[in-house]
A and B are shown apart, each in its own frame.
Chain A
Amino acid sequence: MELLSNLALGFQTAVSPMNLLYCLVGALIGTLIGVLPGIGPVQTIAILLPTTFALPPVSALIMLAGIYYGAQYGGSTTSILVNVPGEASSVVTCLDGHQMARQGRGGAALTIAALGSFVAGCFATVVLALLAVPLAELAFRFGPAEYFSLMVFGLVGSVVLASGSLIKAVGMIVVGLLLGMVGTDVTSGAHRFTFGIPELADGVGFVSLAMGLFGICDIITSLEKREKRDILKSRLTGFWLSRRELREAAPAVVRGTLLGSLLGILPGGGAIISSFTAYMIEKKSSRRPESFGKGNICGVAGPESANNAAAQTSFVPLLTLGIPPNVVLAMMAGAMMIHGIQPGPRVITSNPALFWGVIVSMWVGNLMLILLNLPLIGIWVRLLTVPYRLLYPAILVFCCIGLYSVNNNTFDIGLTALCGLLGYGLHKLECEPAPLILGFVLGPMMEENLRRAMLLARGDPSVFFTRPLSLAFLVLALLLLIAVALPGIRRGRDKAFTE
Chain B
Amino acid sequence: MRSLCTWILVAAMVGLLGTAGPEAQEIKGPIKIVVPYPAGGGSDVVARLIADKLKDALGQAVIVENKPGAGGRIGTEYVKGQPADGSVMLVVNPALFVVAPVVFSKLAYDPETDFAPVSVIQQYQFCVSVPAASTIGDVKALIDWIKKNPNQANFGSPAAGSLPHFFGLMIAKTAGVEMVHSSYNGSGPLVTALIGGQIPIGVDAYDAQSAYHPDKIRILATAGTARKSSDIPTFIEQGFPEIEGVGWNAIVVPAKTPKPVIAKLSAAIAQAVRTPDVAEKIRGLGSDPVGTTPEEAAAVFKKDRERWVPIIKASGFKAE
Contact = CB atoms under 8 A, between A and B. Distances in A.
B196 A189 contact: no
Given A46-B39, A331-B40, A267 B188 contact: yes
Contacts of A325: 188
Interface residues on A, range: 35 or more
B305 interface: no
B11 interface: no
Contact of B182 (A184, A322, A455): A455
Nearest to B199: A456
Interface residues on B, range: 35 or more
Contact of A340 (B66, B188, B216, B284): B284
Contacts of A47: 39
A494 interface: no
B105 to A, nearest CB: 10
A344 B192 CA distance: 12
A187 interface: yes
B46 to A, nearest CB: 10
A334 B38 CA distance: 12
Interface stretch (A24-32, A158-166, A194-202, A274-282): A194-202
A143 interface: yes
B108 to A, nearest CB: 7
B318 interface: yes
A28 B67 CA distance: 28
Contacts of A407: 38, 67-69, 74
Contacts of A337: 45, 284-285
Interface string A317-339: 10001111101001100110110
Contact of A458 (B71, B151, B191, B195): B151
A345 B41 CA distance: 21
A1 B9 CA distance: 54
A37 interface: no
Contact of A49 (B39, B77, B192): B39
A322 B68 CA distance: 25
A201 B183 CA distance: 17
Contacts of A340: 281, 284
A144 B183 CA distance: 12
Given A407-B69, A455-B154, A330 B285 contact: no
Which among A140, A141, A317, A455 has the highest number of chain B CB atoms within 10 Å?
Answer: A140
Contacts of B189: 267-268
B180 A455 contact: yes
A324 B42 CA distance: 14
Contact of B318 (A141, A143, A144, A190): A190
B1 interface: no
Interface in A425-468: 448, 452, 455-456, 458
A189 B182 contact: no
A141 B285 CA distance: 29
A330 B40 CA distance: 8
A458 B150 CA distance: 10
A380 B184 CA distance: 42
Contacts of A338: 45, 281, 284-285
B160 A189 contact: yes
Interface in B26-47: 38-42, 45
Contacts of B73: 198, 201
B40 A452 contact: no
Contacts of B65: 408
B101 interface: no
Contacts of A346: 211, 215
Interface in B95-141: 103, 106, 108
Nearest to A47: B39
Which among B70, B196, B215 has the highest number of chain A CB atoms within 10 Å?
Answer: B70
A134 B161 CA distance: 35
Given A184-B71, A330-B188, A334-B45, A189 B285 contact: no
Contact of A190 (B71, B193, B320): B320
Interface in A33-64: 42, 45-47, 49-50
B88 to A, nearest CB: 14
Contact of B161 (A189, A317, A456): A189
A325 to B, nearest CB: 7
Which among B40, B161, B186, B195 has the highest number of chain A CB atoms within 10 Å?
Answer: B40
A45 to B, nearest CB: 7
A198 B108 contact: yes
Contacts of A458: 151, 180
B232 interface: no
Contacts of B199: 456
A343 interface: yes
A346 to B, nearest CB: 8
Nearest to B38: A46
Contacts of B215: 345-346
A338 B67 CA distance: 22
A135 to B, nearest CB: 14
Interface of B: 38-42, 45, 48, 65-71, 73-74, 77, 103, 106, 108, 151, 154, 159-161, 180, 182-186, 188-189, 191-193, 195-199, 210-212, 215-216, 281, 284-285, 317-320
15 contacts: A49-B39, A143-B193, A143-B198, A186-B160, A186-B183, A191-B319, A267-B189, A323-B192, A334-B40, A334-B42, A337-B45, A345-B212, A346-B215, A408-B65, A409-B69
Given A139-B192, A338-B284, A342-B211, 20 more contacts: A46-B38, A50-B48, A141-B196, A184-B319, A186-B160, A186-B183, A191-B319, A198-B108, A199-B70, A201-B69, A201-B70, A202-B70, A331-B40, A340-B281, A346-B211, A409-B67, A455-B182, A456-B154, A456-B199, A458-B180
